[in-house]
Structure 1
Amino acid sequence: MSNECLKYASVGICIKDFSGKQITSYNSDKSYTPASILKVVTTATALEILGSDYRYQTTLEQDVNHPNRLLIHGCGDPTLGTEHLDNAPNAFLSQWADRIKEKIDSNKTLDIMVIDDYFGYDDGISHRWTYQDMGNYYAAGAYGISVFDNTYKLYFNTMRIDTCPIIVKTEPEININFKNTLQLNNSGQDNGYIHGMPFSMDRLLTGNIPGGRTSFSIKGDIPDPGMYLGEVLARTLGEKGYKIGKVETSQDDFYRQMYLKDKKFPEGGIFYRHLSFPMKDIIKDTNVRSNNHYAEHLIRTVGRTETNDIYSSALDAGIKKTNDFWKSKGLNTDALMIFDGSGLSPANAVSATFMCDLLVYMQTKSKYASDFMESLPQAGIDGTVKSRLAGTKLVSKIRMKSGSINGVQCFAGYYIDGDKKYAFTVMVNKFSGARSQLVKAIDNLLLSVF
């Protein structure tokens, strides 16, 4: 606490053994912005409520009233076409095309309807996210259909110094209108941002990126993943001999029927079910790589266990379910204030005590204790904490999630060494000075305690 970078900071520290006994603490009952350690709460909740073997389903259906209309019905799978989890991103397209050709006549014009309304549309992003984040890959929306991590790469040539960086291409190819105000820097740092609202194909580029590169990329969010999936599949089917007619999503019908008492939905006969990776793999990637995209789907999926009404907010329901679940397990949730699943919102708040109580619960009372432990990256070895405590006595003995946004640095996890088993949380808000100085101080704290 005497470190210069903590002079004006708020700090919360809690360490408990697995009996729940508090070993040491510092302002541990105060609420602090958690950043990405909130994913510990999200993944634990999803694991407890959905189970480690839960798999999302995306179904291919033939419209019973229009036999040459394909219905693609999504239920929130964040892993469809993912580049993570040892997945081949485009493999599902040819697999789907083969299944479709077995079922639907290729001699007639094929219409495609993507039903992506499972989470609704208005809460695909949290209303507490900041403008600077929206439009970037780490703030991608979460919908009933997500594809390719709802992410594209935007490539530039930055060799010329007399103009803005030259846009070369997007990968995958996607039709977006960019207003380019980017500048070049000599620092080699990526300070480029993509700004834009969900479902808008207009994007503003701000900030600066390294000059002198023949190829440099930044990442943005796919604005309308349901429509994009329909268009990509349409191209694949066109190569298989289909003539494609209308490609649409359920969004127009969703809003048109919003206030109608009697709503009508497409009726389809399922002929193929695409299954996601199991939940234990999804939560591991969520925690190891700090995957915002997966985390946002998880909290909305938890919400849909509370209500299947697509006109209700899946995010609000997930927040309520999370709070209610941990309260039912005897944890004090008074300090828990959440507005998303990933921790991206600076409005989120939680106490170090609550985090430790949840961590202790997951190892002493959860039947998914092993899967949860495995989901946390090992300090000095992998994930976002690969450089933390490397080469020290704590390597292989600490698993922890990191969390960082502007002015925030947090860590939460476990120290395990034989019979010595502890849960710990360190939360720092509004620090000054270099982040590297702060994380080194936290490293030293953990080395001195354990």
Structure 2
Amino acid sequence: MRNIILTFIIYVCAVLQAYGSQPLDFPSAEGASVGIRIVRISDGKVIADYDSERLLVPASVQKCLTAATAQLSLPVDFRFVTRLAAYGALSADGVLNGYLAIVGGYDPTLGSRFFNKREAFDIWVATELDRLGVKCMNGDVSAIPSDIPEDALSPYWLLEDLEWEYGAGCYPINYRDNSFDSKEGRMADSDPAAVLCDVVTDRLAKEGIAMAMDAEMNYTEVVLPEDLSPIKVWRYFSPDRDDILKVMMHRSDNLYAEAMLRALLLPACDVRDTEVALVRADSAIVVQRDLWKARGIDLSRGRIVDGSGLAPVNRMSARMISDILHSMARSRSYAELFPIAGRDGTVRNFLRRTPLEGRMALKSGSMTGVLCYAGYMLDKDGRPTHSVVIMVNNFTCTSTKVRSAVSTYLNGVLVSR
């Protein structure tokens, strides 16, 4: 009888903790859904927990999962590869009687304004053709694949998001962040491969490699001759894995996240130099789920449909994200991917002028009615001391007021630790 009573008391305490008055103070807090979990890294002691098993919309803090999976699955020197193939015959006087094919490899950094210090792809193409001795081309510049994969744009993303840069799809050939400037802001480009072909063609003309035939360019019906091998294949490499992940985490870049999710499948693809390994996001998500299941974390309890967190149907719990952070806490390289609150990235204004400024490495996530933070508290040497997850959904006040409440809460719980 005593054991039954004790079990009942423990159950009641758990219910009160999960469903009692939530600890964040902001207007409309009563109707909001909140999940909190703060754990000390050294011994796993739970410092704070509120309804941490509740499944909530994670928004961009889901990128913490994408980054962790990439670090566990891909070698540190992993790089995306875009290939350039020259087809036809090269005459003694430098005329290429054939065409160029750009073979996609899902590189999200190709022409990206966030990696603008490396040699531009179009200049690299012109340089390599010059080294080969090409002075003139009787052909055009084509993209492989010529059609757009059906999952380039997630079916779970909101239609109104697809016109903006943050809703740009992930294609075998990505270029210039799959976006362009307009009066309204950065808009999504639905055919980055065509843009790249145009840019390369213009660059060749500027560098003196003439197009001898004034042929109409066609980006949608590229057919490679089955009996013709390329006379030369070049490889253009992206920056290394963690360089890409750091931009993804600091800028909360959705394209980078979707590409890194698909990258989980690329090392296992056995394709020829002129073939594209078409990989699907849903297949990569299965690989991701299996990896974490083997590490004792069951992602199937939630719902994950993309790599960026843009889909409003994604669901994760604070406990789930906390467990991922805790499992990665010994990896200095993982913690270094996060922007520092009050200084960097999307959290550069968060916790500023508070005792926690500069002491927390955090990823933020937001959409209408959603504000989340996940990451670490750091010691003076930059090592994680606590994993921190705070998720707020379904609020109706301004996000500024929720952000202020989260700041007050974190300072109250962590400053003395």
- Shorter-chain TM range is 0.7 to 0.9
Structure 1 residue aligned with 2:319: 353
Q: Are 1:133 and 2:95 counterparts?
A: no
Structure 2 residue aligned with 1:196: none
* Contact persistence 1:413–1:424 (CA under 8 A): yes
- Equivalenced residue count is 375
1:389 aligns to what SS in structure 2?
coil
2:339 aligns to what SS in structure 1?
coil
* Contact persistence 1:398–1:414 (CA under 8 A): yes
Aligned CA-pair RMSD: 2.6
For residues 34 and 237 of structure 1, the distance between their equivalents in structure 2, rounded to whole angstroms, comes to 45
AA in 2 matched with 1:235:
D
Q: Are 1:327 and 2:293 counterparts?
A: yes
Greater helix percent: which structure? Answer: 2
AA in 1 matched with 2:345:
G
For residues 228 and 281 of structure 2, the distance between their equivalents in structure 1, rounded to whole angstroms, comes to 25
The TM-score with structure 1 as length reference comes to: 0.77
Structure 1 residue aligned with 2:31: 8
Structure 2 residue aligned with 1:286: 248
CA drift of 1:269 comes to 4.6
Structure 2 residue aligned with 1:47: 71
For residues 341 and 229 of structure 2, the distance between their equivalents in structure 1, rounded to whole angstroms, comes to 50
Change (3 A) 1:33 1:69: same
* Contact persistence 1:287–1:375 (CA under 8 A): yes
Q: Are 1:386 and 2:415 counterparts?
A: no
Change (3 A) 1:266 1:20: farther
For residues 420 and 361 of structure 1, the distance between their equivalents in structure 2, rounded to whole angstroms, comes to 12
For residues 218 and 390 of structure 2, the distance between their equivalents in structure 1, rounded to whole angstroms, comes to 47
1:226 to 193, 197, 213: 193
Change (3 A) 1:105 1:3: closer
Q: Any residues of structure 2 matched to 1:18-417 within 5 Å, and which?
A: 18=41, 19-63=43-87, 68-85=98-115, 87-88=116-117, 91-103=120-132, 105-116=134-145, 121-155=149-183, 192=184, 218-239=185-206, 240-243=208-211, 245=215, 247-249=217-219, 252=221, 267-305=229-267, 314-364=280-330, 369-417=331-379
- The percentage of counterpart residues that share the same residue type is 30
Greater strand percent: which structure? Answer: 1
For residues 139 and 266 of structure 1, the distance between their equivalents in structure 2, rounded to whole angstroms, comes to 38
AA in 1 matched with 2:238:
S
1:69 aligns to what SS in structure 2?
strand
Q: Mind listing any 5+ residue stretches in structure 1 that lack a counterpart?
A: 156-191, 193-217, 258-262
Change (3 A) 1:393 1:106: same
For residues 267 and 397 of structure 1, the distance between their equivalents in structure 2, rounded to whole angstroms, comes to 56
AA in 2 matched with 1:219:
R
Structure 2 residue aligned with 1:195: none
2:333 aligns to what SS in structure 1?
helix
Q: Are 1:424 and 2:401 counterparts?
A: no
Q: Mind listing any 5+ residue stretches in structure 2 that lack a counterpart?
A: 1-21, 90-95
For residues 292 and 79 of structure 1, the distance between their equivalents in structure 2, rounded to whole angstroms, comes to 12
1:326-364 superposed Cα distances (whole Å, 9 cap, x missing partner): 111111223331111111110011111111111111123
* Contact persistence 1:299–1:315 (CA under 8 A): yes
For residues 42 and 420 of structure 1, the distance between their equivalents in structure 2, rounded to whole angstroms, comes to 19
* Contact persistence 2:97–2:138 (CA under 8 A): no
